[in-house]
Amino acid sequence: MKILVCISHVPDTTSKINFTENDTKFDSNGVQFVINPYDEFALTRAMWFKEKQAASITVITVGDATTEPTLRKALAIGADNAIRVNATATDGFAVAKELAAVVKNDTYDLILAGKESIDYNGGMVPGMLAGLLDYNFVNACIGLEIEGEEATVSREIDGGKEVLSCNLPLIIAGQKGLVEEKDLRIPNMRGIMMARKKPLTIVEPTASDTATKSTSFEKPAAKSACKLIDADNVDELINLLHNEAKVI
């Protein structure tokens, strides 16, 4: 089984975020980038299929040369090879079209991705990719088993979960539950050394035009100061909750 895992190169959630050029561009200076956490769940599940069913894993991203350390980390975790589409990922549809162009030049039984990236939170790419390729698609996936050409998939729905059966080829948009956080892989020294020798192919982008662009960014408002009330002053607490916070 051939598996393609889509990887997003995103800022670590602990990074301090700033913008430049009159708040129109993201300032990447001093920002640590990581594998998108939802994509890491997908990669970990792909590793399970590699170990249990001898699947091969290719990781792919759309981005410039600065994204290559993230791909190398995925290779160190256990992916067999990597592909970088040499284009800046600024638009979900453009990214989906670039990924689709790569897939059409090869054959993959299973494509795994996170349900969204934690930077733009668009949640568009996996579904758009499925539409462009005419593949089966399951969103918000929290469980995946494959036997032969048939997949059994669990996904999160309002009030519970839904279990589906579908045939390969298949695209999954995963989230926590596909694997648990305790199951995530940390690259060891041997994996890091081996990753240096694994192939990383650079593919030039198609002539896809972007459909959207970011015109400005705005930080959320700063949190207000915390008010401390004496434990015995219940009347003051009730007054503040009722008249200021307006929660009672």
Q: What pLDDT, on a 0 to 100 scale, did the predictor assign at position 31?
A: 87
Tens of pLDDT along 88-146? 888 899 999 999 999 999 989 999 999 999 888 888 999 999 999 999 999 999 999 99
Q: What pLDDT, on a 0 to 100 scale, did the predictor assign at position 208?
A: 67
Say whether pLDDT at 61 is over 90: yes
Domain 2-217 has CATH 3.40.50.620: yes
pTM, two decimals, is 0.85
Give the type of residue at 121: N
Tokens of 88: 């800046």
Tens of pLDDT along 162-217? 999 999 999 999 999 998 888 898 888 888 998 989 999 999 998 767 788 788 88
Q: What pLDDT, on a 0 to 100 scale, did the predictor assign at position 83?
A: 97
- In angstroms, the CA 15 to CA 30 distance is 8
Other Cβ atoms less than 10 A from the Cβ of 52: the count is 9
In DSSP terms, which residues pair with 61 in a beta bridge?
84
